[in-house]
Structure 1
Amino acid sequence: MERFFLLVLSGCLGVSRVKADSLSPPVNVTIKEVKANSAVVSWDIPEGDPVIGFAITQQKKDVRMLRLIQEVNTTTRSCALWDLEEETDYIVHVQSVSMSGTSPLSEPLRFRTPKEAETQASKNEVTMEEVGQATQLRAGELIIIVVVLIMWAGVIALFCRQYDIIKDNEPNNNKDKAKNSSECSTPEHPRGGLLRSKV
């Protein structure tokens, strides 16, 4: 699928575009993954709209300069905003794009970028939920290890028991063999047989 990008920096707020009467503006516009210099905006499109792309306007609060990001031939429902300034307020609008034009602007979405130091600190923090998940994982691993060790101990004990039984039976077999051979022999002829007299 072909994708085209159009980035426009404009000195005024009014950007002339053809409006599509039947197209509804995007809904549920949200900002996530907000960092000092970037963020991700996402949205939903009402069902049935013949959307082929989107257009995003990004503006610093109280500043007339805005950035327009337009992408067509896509079903994407999110876009990365880059090159933002830390500790700055931004306003974002999203529009749907169809073959006949663009939808009205979505409701304005305001957000503020954090300081770079705050972003680094949040990366280094470990939440209690993550600690709990790690503890559950370790407990599960320990249970598996204990079960495997018990099974191996059982196998080794069974082997030792069988080995002892085999070893105990071996001398009895030798004694039986010795007994059988001694019954056939006489004191005079240890190899067995009768005395023959010379004629």
Structure 2
Amino acid sequence: MAHFSAYLNPVLVLFSCDLCLVRANRPPSPVNVTVTQLKANSATVSWDVPEGDVVIGYAILQQRQDGQMQRFIREVNTTNRACVLWDLAEDADYIIQVQSIGLYGESQASKRVHFRTLKETDRLPSNSSNQGDITMEGLDKDRQLQTGEIIIIVAVLLMWAAVIALFCRQYDIIKDNDSNNNKEKTKPSSEHSTPERPTGGLLRSKKSPSVNIIEV
């Protein structure tokens, strides 16, 4: 018995040390757990994780306050800090808790957060208002796009007008130069040619033959 206890004590010490290391390496509990986008059958849960800790997933405990339903959601290999809860009962009270999943286990559960889903009749006005907001946002975006397109078109037209004006100016200059060159080529020849002089030599006068008439 003494030998068995002597063998068991080191094992217990090692096991307790491993437990201490695992607890020390567990991530801290999530903070700032909030519930948003409440509807009759769904809600969104979001939370924050303290910096400097390696977190590879999360776990959410969801239960109705009356104890009729309980659900456990677990997801790993993700960095998400939010989750959508589906298939909720309308006008019902729920309690949720979030845990962080690290390399060496799960953290302690966060503080309990209570929320209540909306009624089915309360969802229609919220949806209609959201649709109105989405429609107005779409109209604003379309107006912004139309304004931007108009500005681009006006800028392009002004650029083309400047190019055409420059081309016309260059064309007029070239045309004037050509007309001046043609005028210089077509000046009267009298201004450049010298008067002709008669060739030298004596002019011979021709005498008409005389006719003598003799009467017999």
* Global fold match (TM > 0.5): yes
Short-chain TM bin: 0.5 to 0.7
Q: Is the counterpart of residue 78 in structure 1 residue 85 in structure 2?
A: no
CA–CA distance in structure 2, aligned partners of residues 103 and 58 of structure 1: 15
Structure whose CA Rg is larger: 2
Q: Is the 8 A contact 1:97 1:103 kept in 2?
A: no
1:28 counterpart (9, 27, 32): 32
1:27, distance to aligned residue in structure 2 (A): 0.8
CA–CA distance in structure 1, aligned partners of residues 182 and 164 of structure 2: 28
Higher helix share: 2
Residue deviations 1:126-165, cap 9 Å, x none?
A: 3799466665665555444433332322221121122122
TM-score, normalised via structure 2 length: 0.57
Taking structure 1 as reference, are residues 159 and 182 closer, same or farther at Cα in structure 2, changes over 3 Å only? farther
Count the aligned residue pairs. 172
1:170 counterpart (174, 178, 188): 178
TM-score, normalised via structure 1 length: 0.61
Matches within 5 A, 1:153-168: 153-168=161-176
Matches within 5 A, 1:1-199: 23-34=27-38, 37-49=41-53, 51-85=55-89, 89-98=93-102, 99-113=104-118, 115=120, 117-118=124-125, 120-126=127-133, 130=137, 138-179=146-187
Larger deviation, residues 143-152 vs 153-162: 143-152
Higher strand share: 1
Unaligned stretches of 5+ in structure 2?
1-22, 200-216
Superposition CA RMSD, Å: 4.0
Unaligned stretches of 5+ in structure 1?
1-19, 188-193
Higher relative contact order (CA 8 A, sep 6+): 1
